[in-house]
Amino acid sequence: MLEVSNSRTIQTHSRQITHRLFCFTYAGGAASIYRDWSNKLPQSIEVHAFQFPGHGTRLNEPLFKRVEPLVETTAQELMPYLEGSFAFFGHSMGAIISFELAHLLRRENKPAPSHLFLSGRPCAHLTKKEAPTYDLPEPEFLEELHRMGGTSKAVLEHPELMSVLSPILRADLELCQTYECEPRPPLDCPITVFGGLRDEDVSREQLEGWRDYTTSSFAVRMFPGNHFYLHSAAHVLLRTIAQDLRNVPGENG
Taking CA atoms, 81 is separated from 17, 149, 247, in Å, by 13, 34, 22
Which of these is catalytic: 85, 92, 98, 166? Answer: 92
Cα separation, 85 vs 67, in Å, equals 25
204-227 burial, b if ≥16 CB within 10 A, otherwise e?
Answer: eebbbbbeebbeeebebbbbebbb
Could you give the 3-state DSSP secondary structure of residue 40? helix
Cα separation, 119 vs 91, in Å, equals 4
Report the half-sphere exposure of 113 (CA within 13 A, side-chain side). Answer: 29
Active site residue 85: no
At position 207, the amino acid (one-letter code) is: L
The residues assigned a catalytic role are 92
